[in-house]
Amino acid sequence: MINTKIRDMKSQFDYIQNLGKQYTVYEEQPEVLFNDLNSLPEDVLKDVYDEYGDPDRKFQPVAILRAEVARRILDGETVDEKITEEIKERIRTKDKSYFSHLNNRLLGEMEAYPLYKRDIFANWQRHWSVYHPFFFRGKTKETVDRYLKQISESVMKDMGLSNYTSHEVDFYGANNFGSNRSWIAIYPLNKNSHRDAYQFFIEIGGKVRAGRVAGHSLKDPKPNNVKFCDSLADVMVALNQEWKQILELNKGIRNYFKFAPGRQSSEWERFYNEGIAAISFKEFDIGDASDLQTREEFNIKAGLDPQNKTNVTWNLWLFKTANKGDVVFANKGTNTCIGIGIVQGDYYYDENDIGDFYHKRGIKWLTDKVYQYKSKSYRRYATLFRPDTFSPTLAGEFILSEYVRLFPELKTVFDQHDLEYEINEKDIKSKPKPDADIETDEDTEEAEELNYWWLNANPSIWSISSFNEGDSQTYTSRNEKGNKRRIYKHFEAVKPGDLMIGYESSPVKQVRAIFEITKSLYQSEKEGEVIEFQIVEKLEVPVHWNELQNDPGLKDCEVFINNQGSLFKLTEEEFDIIRDTIDNKNIVQEKKQQRSDIKSYDFKDDQDKPFLPEQQFLRISSLLKRKKNIILQGPPGVGKTFLARKIAYQLMGFRNDAQIQMVQFHQSFSYEDFIQGLRMNKQGITIKNGIFFTFCQQAHAHPGRPFFLIIDEINRGNLSKIFGELMMLIEFDKRDKKYAVKLTYAEDEDETFFVPDNLYLIGTMNTADRSLAIVDYALRRRFAFINLEPIFDQTFKLFLIDTGLSENLAESIRSSVLKVNEKITKDNNLGSGFQIGHSFFCSFKDGKDEMEWYSDILDYEIRPLLEEIWFDNPETVNDMMKVLAP
């Protein structure tokens, strides 16, 4: 009995099948193809000519061939096989006189086009391969793509395949060479691709077939079982007959996953020692997921739409449903593997975990040796791992092989667990060829080259920072009125695998991500005509427009010539220039993160905490969270900067110096250094972003994470001059885009700026410096001021003893400095702001001569300080030095 939902798909099914029959005739009977080609409507031929004859299009032999055929038919000629071969030969011989109507750039590219032994039209021997875009285009293609998606969704729903997804290929074929058949592959959600699984396969063309197909990447697969079908009902019967076996076969495939053990691997040591993998999942409070089975159920429990494609719930669903025996690669960043393990235990929920990593699996970790991936050494992949929490990896066997190559002793361990790897090239098993009559995207014809794009995102409509790495997004090819967007041809040209620069336009003006196209232009139910892409990399440090626009390598770049539009074409060289700028900025940050000992932080557990009562420390932290801006003021040596970092750690919940920026003010520090200014370079005068502007942009790009700017010696600068128009924007209640202002050196009227809500300012101020003016009142009221006093109590004494000082010297320091500070405080010309701080005495290293160390402190640090504050009273200085003497 056919499900009603499936019966509703009969019209869609018949439409695609009838097209397949027509295209089969075109492929098998060239005379029919050419007859219909010459009978195409004028508007279709003009559309083809405009697309392939576009003077801005990169030279491609088949594009020139198609444009020339369209031109000649429009001129009244009748094109046949002979004329087709004539045009091909003129392109092969680079007949510039024949193609004199082309612009000089295209002629130059044709002249430079390399000729090898292999014919440049080797992939276009079939006439249908050349001419399929004349027929399968526009609304026809849009309709087929929509119908294929509707059929696949209907089949998955009818068969209860809630944890499966689909891959559809229309009559363009897997490699865009044209086909007389379309197909659908339905495969598990926990696989990177249909290639890695047994598929529910449906082929719709001149003939219809359905059944079980093994993905091309499977080793020693079960034979395909595909049957011819006369109707949609037969298709469902064939699929239902394979239902149980496909599910069982896919469960038996060993999966490879990457796993991030905390931010920057902060939990790796703990997870490795405990034999677990664990996920925090702080984004959504779903509690125990033991009873959740499908991704839709995870979404519902998280309060999301059941069909939401967020990477976050997908990661947790994958983690929970991973099979015992699956391989897990622990990673740090996108190119470093720090351990390999095998899933051994079922999912369980541990609400008492010390780091809020409640979702757990038992893992048998096989090694904690580190492997550093060299970019593009595996299938030209720039990175080895996705930047998310838990997800499939295509590089599983490659990583295992690299470990065996570098650490031969692991071969025995891997063999014990039946892990597959390759010792050298002669041991590599050749991949099985797909059945000759099953079309897949591993067919032998070469794919067209990768394209590169630039996408302008309007932050008022959608912001890149609002989405996660791994999330899928769409972008409409038409505006709100239904009209085609500028350079519409670019939307038609994108194809899966293309890479795209993700840029947020004014007022943000930042490159914030790298996208990968996952679907060519298609008609969606809700948004209309769209392209689909995945966020493969969100930049830790975004790149501002100013940093790119004056690069000489980008002077001819489409987007920098005219930035009005949405989608722009980039050459590979232009993409590489932008990619290089991105890398240079982010490598610095990555190194900073790698240097950071990123671990969970709580003041009460800190063995190296400031000498403050816990209640006072937490009160200061709470004050910063509310006020956004504080100044720690006190005499030299009370640990103001040290305390500032600890406060930042407390609000972050972990140690991560990559989210902390330090700057020191001085008399010559300016607005141009801090916010933005003009600078000279080889290209002339350009806008240079300052440290505060850049740090704010980083905070804007990661709204879910706190960032801290520590301004040392804040009162040494001309504060009104340095902060300029930002004086208002740093107030805690002005951290919103509605308060945005145009900066002094902004080029456009809509280029505005505001301080993000997740950025905190911590200033430090030395109260003993007589040379400094009083802090500007306008700035003072925007900060909360915290007075810090030297601490020489019993806790400090115990600290000194712990460093290795004798108890006698520790007590002598504590009591004598208290006496000197009392004298300073009572002096009417000084006061408490001139006291000696405790940090002067925190530098002792066990094993040194303590008396020599203490004498150096007194002679070279304390005496000069006392001589400065009592510059007119040397007798008092001598008296106080006697008090401090041991």
Separation CA 170–CA 293 (nearest Å): 32
pLDDT of residue 682: 56
Same domain, 322 and 463: no
Residues 831-855, mean pLDDT to the nearest whole number: 88
Domain boundaries, position 811: 794-884
Instruction: List, in order, residues 6 or more apart from 377 with CB less than 8 Å away.
Output: none
Considering the domain boundaries, does residue 589 fall inside one?
no
> Could you please report the per-residue DSSP string of 245-304?
HHHHHHHTSPPEEEE--SGGGTTHHHHHHHTEEEE--TTS-----TT--SHHHHHHHTTS
Separation CA 319–CA 139 (nearest Å): 41
Same domain, 781 and 636: yes
The yes-or-no verdict on residue 164 having pLDDT over 70 is yes
The yes-or-no verdict on residue 594 having pLDDT over 60 is no
DSSP-assigned beta bridge partners for residue 475: 531
Q: What CATH number corresponds to the domain at position 287?
A: 3.10.590
Same domain, 278 and 417: yes
Percent share of the chain, pLDDT over 90: 45
Same domain, 307 and 246: no
The yes-or-no verdict on residue 491 having pLDDT over 80 is yes
Query: In the structure, what pLDDT confidence band is assigned to residue 129 with cuts at 50, 70 and 90?
Result: very high
Query: In the structure, what pLDDT confidence band is assigned to residue 722 with cuts at 50, 70 and 90?
Result: confident
- Dihedral of the alpha carbons of 62, 67, 69, 75, in degrees to the nearest 10: -170
Please give the mean pLDDT across all residues of the chain.
86
* Alpha-carbon Rg for the chain in angstroms: 34
Considering the domain boundaries, does residue 23 fall inside one?
no
The yes-or-no verdict on residue 598 having pLDDT over 70 is no
Same domain, 707 and 730: yes
More confident site: 740 or 432: 740
pLDDT of residue 6: 61
Structural domains in the chain (count)? 6
Q: Which of 54-58, 189-193, 874-878 comes out lowest in average pLDDT?
A: 54-58
Same domain, 282 and 185: no
Task: Dump pLDDT digits (tens) for 776-810.
Answer: 666 778 889 999 989 888 888 888 888 889 999 99
Are the beta carbons of 168 and 151 closer than 8 angstroms? no
At 507 the three-state DSSP class reads coil
The yes-or-no verdict on residue 321 having pLDDT over 90 is yes
Same domain, 77 and 154: no
Separation CA 173–CA 513 (nearest Å): 30
Same domain, 621 and 744: yes
Q: Which of 244-253, 354-363, 528-537, 741-750 comes out lowest in average pLDDT?
A: 741-750
The yes-or-no verdict on residue 3 having pLDDT over 60 is no
pLDDT of residue 304: 85
Domain finish residue from 234, 251, 268: 251
Considering the domain boundaries, does residue 630 fall inside one?
yes
The yes-or-no verdict on residue 443 having pLDDT over 70 is no
Query: In the structure, what pLDDT confidence band is assigned to residue 1 with cuts at 50, 70 and 90?
Result: very low
Which of 283, 279, 262, 282 is closest to 320 using CA atoms? 279
pLDDT of residue 264: 72
The yes-or-no verdict on residue 425 having pLDDT over 60 is no
Considering the domain boundaries, does residue 480 fall inside one?
yes
What the block records as the tokens of 756 is 């993000």
Query: What is residue 323's DSSP assignment?
Result: P
pLDDT of residue 374: 85
Same domain, 266 and 356: yes
Residues 310-324, mean pLDDT to the nearest whole number: 88
The yes-or-no verdict on residue 134 having pLDDT over 90 is yes
pLDDT of residue 7: 56
Considering the domain boundaries, does residue 35 fall inside one?
no
Q: Which of 403-407, 486-490, 515-519, 778-782 comes out lowest in average pLDDT?
A: 778-782
Query: In the structure, what pLDDT confidence band is assigned to residue 427 with cuts at 50, 70 and 90?
Result: very low
Query: In the structure, what pLDDT confidence band is assigned to residue 534 with cuts at 50, 70 and 90?
Result: confident
pLDDT of residue 580: 82
pLDDT of residue 426: 40
Task: Dump pLDDT digits (tens) for 745-770.
Answer: 666 666 788 899 999 999 998 887 65
Predicted model pTM: 0.63
DSSP-assigned beta bridge partners for residue 551: none
Task: Rank 179-183, 278-282, 457-461 by mean pLDDT and report only the highest.
Answer: 179-183
Considering the domain boundaries, does residue 15 fall inside one?
no
pLDDT of residue 357: 92
Same domain, 390 and 495: no
Domain finish residue from 427, 444, 475: 427
- Tally of CB atoms within 10 A around 455: 24
Domain finish residue from 251, 285, 311: 251
The yes-or-no verdict on residue 44 having pLDDT over 70 is yes
Q: What CATH number corresponds to the domain at position 463?
A: 3.10.590.10
The yes-or-no verdict on residue 444 having pLDDT over 50 is no
pLDDT of residue 747: 66
Separation CA 456–CA 435 (nearest Å): 43
pLDDT of residue 775: 61
pLDDT of residue 76: 95
Considering the domain boundaries, does residue 193 fall inside one?
yes
Same domain, 773 and 876: no
Residues 657-669, mean pLDDT to the nearest whole number: 88
pLDDT of residue 545: 87
Instruction: List, in order, residues 6 or more apart from 329 with CB less than 8 Å away.
Output: 256, 257, 258, 259, 337, 339, 340, 385, 393, 396, 399
The yes-or-no verdict on residue 592 having pLDDT over 80 is no
Percent share of the chain, pLDDT over 70: 91
DSSP-assigned beta bridge partners for residue 662: 710
Same domain, 235 and 354: no
Considering the domain boundaries, does residue 304 fall inside one?
yes
Which of 85, 97, 47 is closest to 67 using CA atoms? 47
